Structure 1
Amino acid sequence: MDGERIFLLRLYSDHPSGSKRIRGSWLLYATVLLSCFGFSLVGYDNGLMGGFINGRPFNRVFNYPHPSLLSTVVAIYEVGGCVGAVGISFIGDRIGRRQSIALGAIVMIIGAILQASAYQLAQMFMGRIISGLGIGIINSTVPILQAEVSPKATRGLYVAMYCSTLNLGIVTAYWLDFGLSYVDSAIAWRFPTAFQIVYLLAILWLTVMVPESPRWLTAHDMHDDAVSVLAALTNREVDDPDVVQQHKEIVETVIMESAGGSGSWSEFYKSDGLQSCRRLWTAIAVQVFQQLGGINAIIYYATTLFQQSIGFSPKMAGLMSGFLQTWMFIASFIPWFLIDRIGRKPLILGGIFVEGAVMAVQTVLIYQIQHRTRMEGSAAIGAAAMLFLFESAFTVGMQSTGWVYPSEILPLRLRAKGSAISTAANWISNFIVVEFTPPAIENLGYRTYIIFTIFNACFLPIVWFWFKETKGLSLEDVDLLFADEQALEMYRVMVDRGLSDQEEQNKDDEVEYFEQASTSSRAVF
């Protein structure tokens, strides 16, 4: 197996446990910090271009390009993200989680340098595409690593944390752009574009410190390394009974999944005992719903919305955009206390419902503004408030769950490929929204919000009937949640070996629970 692995990066000595100087909670915190930097970078890049792309310093350098060309400059980043996410799926399972993230960071540094030094629009295009490739790699890998090393009881909390840092990245970009909007030189956009390199250097350093995923190591027959990582994460010895038991459960899952195939792409389309195809489409659905709900129409073009839809002055629009993203960052702390208590599915349903309701109300309010009715003044205030309410609903609902859920429900042998596909779906949906929004606002006006209302209304029944709750389950237990009778029986045979009477009874109860859950699900479909 080792002879077949391809190591593209030699940034550090090949110690799967990461740094030998930290263990236990500090090692887990280092992994969380890596995830936070990765997602803060996503947020920073989401908010970056919207703050200066309509400004005179940027347009002067590139000879005032047509607005449609500028929207493509913004949106082409999403195309790169899609390609990067798909591309890493072909090598990510070979090089591992850490080295995949490091590869994405190096690619992004090249893209950032090209963008910050651009004098021709073609170079800016190339830099945006390359940066997109890098963020696609990071974006599809970081959630997997975090999910695979986090304790099951607090896995959702850690994901909610890096969603908060994603919003912090957006806030940083907006206020940096706003502060530099008073500078009438190219530094107004070159400095914030180059600033993302700070994030990337931190990510590279942390890839040295964090451990490789014990589940990835086990799947590649590196069992001693996997046990070492599990021991380091829990600050225990390698022969500790809890460490041994945790590794045993991972091995059992690998064996059970291997019975369904070797992890090739074709297995997503086969009918197997773990419903791999259904789980892939669920992961894709989460990512697509997250984008088509309308969030990036607001994040990327908040300033445009405040100006064109609501009628604020350019400076007031920029100021309100900064306040809006700051509020989203503050609201993102709410799911910290909810996601592991009330679960993923209720948050998704509640978030989508409120998003759809806000878009419906926004349609009416923007109509009043655009037709200059007697309610125009109060409608403008209400429309601005609706943007704040929408971002609150999004960060509590779809944002906090949209990244943890796909990495939880995908089977181990297909997790890297499935995460890559679902992340690519996120990026391509993002591209569609970002490319579509400016001409839609210009040509359709208030009707633009009707489109997002319809999307959100369609998502609700799909989530209600199709999605399963993963709160409090280990990643190995999630496999059992989707398992059919044959797979459950295989699991029962494996865990029965060498168990005490009490342990056997506990496992029988566990299998019975998953049998009931699976039967209930199949009754719906």
Structure 2
Amino acid sequence: MLGGAGFQAGVGSAGPMIAARIVAGIGMGAINSTCPILMAEVSPKASRGRYVAAQLSTLNLGIFLAYWVGYGFTNYVTGSIQWRIPVVLQSVFILAIIVLSLFVPESPRWDMSHGKKERALETLALLNARPSTDSLVLEQYQMIEDAVQLEKSVGAGTWAGFFSWKDDELKSKKRLFIACFIQAAQQLGGINGIIYYAGTLLKTTGLNDHNASLVSGILFTWFFIASFIPWFLIDRVGRRPLFLVCISLMACTFAAQAGLIWKVETSGSKAAGAAATAVLFLYMGLFTTGFQAVVWVYPSEILPLQMRSKGSSISTAANWICNFAIVEMTPSAVANIGYKFYIIFAILNAIWVPVIYFLCPETVGLPLESVDFLFASADIRKMGSLNNADNYLELDKGVGDDGTLDKAAEKV
């Protein structure tokens, strides 16, 4: 990413700029597919969603900063520095990532799955701020080790299993499908059509070029502020309720937007234009509350350990290819079908609701190792005490947010 940023800032024509974007994109893809996994695997189970929601707030902060920097340079600066400086500014954050990466420990779950058991135990002790002989640390260590043994015994997460007709006993392929589906659904729901072309869409409400650009900046400021809402909901309400409620309301906002833009197109109504602008603000708030953070934490939670890295990469690719499709089609769609553009996304978001209802189990508050048993076959669930789902889930209930074990856990 750092090389791509410098490359972009130094080029002077379209061809090299495309090459520079590809270089930066390779780095971005690696970070984008790795970061949610690392956060999920080292975060406390009780606040795992909040950590990912915090990461998404920094994403929205980046969108907010990038837009206002671009707005300022576009309107008040001339010459090539108008775009060279905004492009190179990203290097400040990339350098911060490089420095911080020197201090971030490897995931204990990755270490365990690759035979580095001693380092896994040391990292668990570090993450819990307890000695490696502490009962809580040893319980977590044993759960991870059991999960690794169980997944290897049934062939979960292997490429051979992925390309076979039959799914394994932990339903790895089904879980990969769910991860890819929700990542694709997020983009096919229309969000980046709005993020990339907010100014174009706002002009359809009756705003002139400058006002549309200014309101776009305010919209992205609101997007950043609203991203703090899921911090307080994602680990309290759960993943499924946020999905189902917010996506249902998103479908309604797109349906309303279609009607309002139709009114603007047919009568030039200023009131309808103002209402359509307000609806965009409502949609962005709903999206960041119920679809943005949850989509990035959920695949890392439901994928089996042996498939988590591969599956996250594939599901992230599904997100980006659908992102590409939406960004490619939006300008033509807005120009050629007008208000019907919003009908497409109203229908798509409505379709996601029953699919999520029937396919996506709740994962809030569960250790990652316990999620295997949400999908496991009956034979696996009946196994003995070493890999007993009820013991895992019951033990988890006894671990407080502060990492202490209460009587229920001690009894188990």
TM tier relative to shorter chain: over 0.9
> Are 2:342 and 1:449 equivalent residues in the alignment?
yes
Alignment check: 8 A CA contact 2:156 2:172 kept: no
> Are 2:168 and 1:272 equivalent residues in the alignment?
yes
Counterpart of 2:408? none
> Are 2:398 and 1:494 equivalent residues in the alignment?
no
> Are 2:368 and 1:470 equivalent residues in the alignment?
no
Counterpart of 2:401? none
Give secondary structure in 1 for the equivalent of 2:206.
coil
TM-score, length-scaled by structure 2: 0.92
| Residues 466-475 or 312-321, more deviating | 312-321
Counterpart of 1:320? 215
Shift of residue 262, structure 1, vs aligned partner: 6.6
Computed over aligned residues only, the root mean square deviation of the Cα atoms, in angstroms, reads 1.7
Counterpart of 2:186? 290
Q: Counterparts of 1:143 and 1:372 in 2: how far apart (Å)?
A: 47
Q: What does 1:43-122 correspond to in 2, within 5 Å?
A: 108-122=1-15
Counterpart of 1:356? 251
Match of 2:311 among 418, 423, 440: 418
Counterpart of 2:125? 231
Q: Counterparts of 1:387 and 1:266 in 2: how far apart (Å)?
A: 45
Counterpart of 2:95? 201
Q: Counterparts of 1:510 and 1:495 in 2: how far apart (Å)?
A: 13
Q: Counterparts of 1:247 and 1:146 in 2: how far apart (Å)?
A: 18
Alignment check: 8 A CA contact 2:156 2:304 kept: no
Counterpart of 2:404? none
**Code of the aligned partner of 1:254:** V
**Deviation by residue 1:331-386 (Cα, 9 ceiling, x = unmatched):** 1111111111110011011121111111111111111112234xx10011011101
Match of 1:336 among 231, 235, 240: 231
Alignment check: 8 A CA contact 1:140 1:419 kept: yes
Structure 1 residues 167 and 508: CA distance shift in structure 2, 3 A: closer
Q: Counterparts of 1:266 and 1:359 in 2: how far apart (Å)?
A: 42
Q: Any runs of at least 4 consecutive aligned residues in structure 1 with deviations exceeding 6 A, and if so which?
A: none
Can you give the 5+ residue segments of structure 1 that lack an aligned partner in the other structure? 1-107, 497-503, 514-525
Q: Counterparts of 1:420 and 1:365 in 2: how far apart (Å)?
A: 39
Match of 1:147 among 28, 40, 44: 40
Q: Counterparts of 1:238 and 1:488 in 2: how far apart (Å)?
A: 30
Give secondary structure in 2 for the equivalent of 1:153.
helix
Shift of residue 457, structure 1, vs aligned partner: 1.3
Q: Counterparts of 2:15 and 2:40 in 1: how far apart (Å)?
A: 39
Match of 2:205 among 296, 310, 319: 310
Aligned length: 393
> Are 2:29 and 1:133 equivalent residues in the alignment?
no
**Deviation by residue 1:481-520 (Cα, 9 ceiling, x = unmatched):** 1111222233x34258xxxxxxx9x729849x9xxxxxxx
> Are 2:114 and 1:220 equivalent residues in the alignment?
yes
**Code of the aligned partner of 2:81:** I
**Code of the aligned partner of 1:184:** T
Q: Counterparts of 1:324 and 1:433 in 2: how far apart (Å)?
A: 20
TM-score, length-scaled by structure 1: 0.73
**Deviation by residue 1:412-443 (Cα, 9 ceiling, x = unmatched):** 00100100000000000000000000111111
Alignment check: 8 A CA contact 1:268 1:280 kept: no
Q: Counterparts of 2:215 and 2:392 in 1: how far apart (Å)?
A: 57
**Deviation by residue 1:154-202 (Cα, 9 ceiling, x = unmatched):** 1011111111111111100111111112112221211111111111111
Alignment check: 8 A CA contact 2:251 2:347 kept: yes
Match of 1:164 among 48, 57, 64: 57
Q: What does 1:361-510 correspond to in 2, within 5 Å?
A: 361-373=256-268, 376-490=269-383, 492-494=384-386, 507=391, 510=394
**Code of the aligned partner of 2:118:** D
Alignment check: 8 A CA contact 1:331 1:396 kept: yes
Structure 1 residues 262 and 481: CA distance shift in structure 2, 3 A: closer
**Deviation by residue 1:312-349 (Cα, 9 ceiling, x = unmatched):** 22221111011001101111111111111110011011
Alignment check: 8 A CA contact 1:408 1:478 kept: yes
Match of 2:197 among 301, 310, 315: 301
Can you give the 5+ residue segments of structure 2 that lack an aligned partner in the other structure? 398-412
